[in-house]
Amino acid sequence: MKVLIACEESQEVCKAFRAKGHEAYSCDIQMCSGGHPEWHILGDALTVINGNTDFTTCDGQTHTVDKWDLLIAHPPCTYLSNAGAARLHKKINGKSYIDFERFKKGKDAKEFFLKFIHAPVEKIAIENPIPSKVFELPKYTQTIQPYEYGHPYSKKTCLWLKNLPKLTPTNIVKPICSWVSGGSKKADGTARTNCGMSFRDSKTKSKTFSGIAQAMAEQWGNIKEDESDDSDERGI
C-alpha cells in the first residue's frame, strides 16, 4: 500500500507501516525527528494528498505516487480541541468576551481539518482530541485510549474513519494516570494532575503512542474491501 501520514514529524505511524512492508511517507512542515529523512516529505501535506504527483523526500530523492491507498492525518488541534475551548473567552474588566482572533484561527483550523476528510483517497483516518462543539466538526467514528494498546495512560483520542474498520484494542492495561495534565478539576474540587509527561512539550504531547501506531499498521495495512465498515459507522 501507498500510505501518507500527514502532519506527522515523529514518524511513529510511518515507521509502523514501513515495518509491515508498505510504502509509507510522513509529511509535515517540520523536519522529522523519527530518524528516517528518506521517508519524510518536508512541506504542506495538502500539496500531495490528491496523488498524481512527484515529491522529494528529505534525502533528496524524488518519488511519484499516482494515488494514495490510505491517508492518516493528525491535523493541529490547538484551536479545535475541547480543552482549548476555554481560551475562546477572555475577561476584560471582569467581563467575558469572545476572543475573535482565536475564533478565526479555529475556523481556519477547521477548514484545514476538512481538507483531509474530503481528500480523494479511498481509505482515510483522521486523529484528533475531543473537539469543541463550537466549531461543529463532523461526528467522529470512535474514541481510543493509550491504555487499550499497552501504555498505562489515559488520553482520549478521536478517530474519523472512512472505509476502515474501527481500531480494536490490542493490549488493555490499567491506566495509572493521565498522559497530559489539564486545566479542569476532579469531582472533589482538586486540580487534575498527570504523571505521564514531565513537562509541557507539544511534540511529546501529540506524538502517537507506538502501540496505537502498530495497531493501525497491523489492522489497516491488510484490510480487504469487504472488511470496511458500513457507511453509518464511518463517521465521515
What number is the average pLDDT over the span 28-35? 97
Residue 115 contacts residue 49 (beta carbons within 8 Å): yes
Cell representation of residue 234:
464511518
Which range has highest mean pLDDT (32-36, 201-205, 206-210)?
32-36
CA 154 to chain CA mean position, Å: 16
Residue 34 contacts residue 213 (beta carbons within 8 Å): no
Which range has highest mean pLDDT (81-85, 114-118, 203-207)?
114-118
Cell representation of residue 148:
487499550
Query: At a CB cut-off of 8 Å and minimum separation 6, what does 188 contact?
Result: none
**Given pLDDT bands bounded at 50, 70 and 90, which one contains residue 232?**
very low
Cα separations (Å) of 178 from 149, 181, 182, 209?
Answer: 15, 7, 9, 14
Residue 40 contacts residue 11 (beta carbons within 8 Å): yes
CA distance 149 to 22: 22
**Lowest-pLDDT range of 89-98, 148-157, 159-168:** 89-98
Cα separations (Å) of 157 from 26, 49, 89, 121?
Answer: 20, 23, 24, 22
Q: What's the structural domain count of the chain?
A: 1
183's enclosing H/E stretch is none
**Given pLDDT bands bounded at 50, 70 and 90, which one contains residue 194?**
low
Residue 123 contacts residue 164 (beta carbons within 8 Å): yes
Say if pTM beats, i.e. exceeds, 0.85: yes
Burial class (CB within 10 angstroms; exposed 0-12, middle 13-18, buried 19+) of 138:
middle
Instruction: Tell me the CATH number at 140.
Output: 3.40.50
74, pLDDT greater than 60: yes
Q: Which domain holds residue 130?
A: 2-233
Residue 25 contacts residue 5 (beta carbons within 8 Å): yes
195, pLDDT greater than 70: no
